[in-house]
Chains A and B, each alone.
Chain A
Amino acid sequence: MSVKDEDKAEVGLRVGSVTRRSFLSQVGAAGVAVTTAPLLARAAQTEEPMTESAGRAERVENAVAITLNVNGKTHAIEVDPRTTLLDGLRETMVLTGTKKGCDHGQCGACTVHVNGRRINSCLTLAVMHDGDAITTIEGLGGPDNLHPMQAAFVEHDGYQCGYCTSGQIMSAVALLKEPCGPKDADVKELMSGNICRCGAYPNIVAAIQQVRQRA
């Protein structure tokens, strides 16, 4: 039985607690095992030891140890210096509420708060934030205790596909503390760094204005 077969066996064992993310990564690994079966067989014959690396973080060369305070919880992690804050949050800390859209600071899907201010987490390195306090959508509120902005987005249907939504909400919450005029046009200007491909803009602006008026 090869290592890959063991992985497949594990998939079966974990069915009860499978998440969408773990499901996808395991299906991916299983898919690789099927399509590369002849290659694996050959590798086994040449006594090349197969490592149990699928789906696990490998030890990185040049890794830097940092501590991030994310949503009030301290995370001591080691990252390759190239790791963006976005990838650190999603891949290392498995906080996947923050989304990767363009990965070039143009779409806003990756918006998080660092020390209380909104930034694009794709255009900054995790190592640059050693000791910083970071808030992601997971830290804002959950299904049972929605942040007023999350509730307003639900009420006003401020999304369609939902991919940009966590970034929109993180931006909108930061906007509440920024200098912003009263008009819809003022909100649109300060939300221009968050693109919604579905075009839910009118509902997003309505949600934000409702929260501002009630604040």
Chain B
Amino acid sequence: MDTTTVDLRHVTKTFRGTTALRSINLRMQPGVVGLLGPNGAGKTTLLRILATVLAVDNGSVRVLGRDVTDTEQRTDIRRRLGYLPQELGFPRGFSAYAFVDYMAVLKEWDDAAARRTEVRRALAAVGLQDKATKRIRALSGGQRRRVALAQALLGSPELLVLDEPTTGLDPEQRVSLRQVLAEAGRTATVVISTHQTDDVAALCDRVVVLDEGSVRFDGRVQDLVNEAAGRVWLADRADPRASASWRTGTGRYRNLGQTAPPDAELVEPSLEDAYLLLRGASAPDDAEVAA
């Protein structure tokens, strides 16, 4: 049985002469997929296309077995879709409950009792049941992000498209969110764009690395990590030949590269190491390394 939920073929998208996506081919099945890539790699563009809010210039996009270019089929996709954009503003004067309730109506939850139950469930799923009646304006950044996430979880969608869902969340909230998304990923396709490689490592079955609009890697997380095996070293000083190098909390330097620095110790690579090596990062800023 074909379980493909997302099928992108030769998808290209250009904004005012800048190519955001170059002939992307991707197929996704239920599970959690992590999208990694530097700023401007095309992650958000790809997610907006999956969320049916952005049309492609070339190529074909089928989501949940439907063609996104057909109006009725697109509406059907939206009925089965949860979308968290990278930046979401909220209408003025809304409480958390009112906003999620409003979104539930837009998602055709017409029955008042069923909608009330579902809105409460979604708010509870992100740990905001106690803040439901608070004005969104009075919530913290992390709480607002969770309100935005709650609306995406409405109706337990078959496809969840989440653009940087963990931004602004504290470690406990991130772990809780991982539980929510891992549970969702058992039956649904969850696509997450993030800069947090540890989230991807902890949560995703599969990782897609985008760079300059092209797919640089597409496979299992462990496969990407394995590619870095034998190329991550701990040494007493930074190696100028390394792709990336930074001082760790122990005072030693983590060096990513083909050759061993003097007196270096080979260590197990992380997903972040593998990602940086894949990109061939030369500067911590470029590679978004947190020293």
Is B truly associated with A?
no
Binding site for B on A (CB under 8 A): none
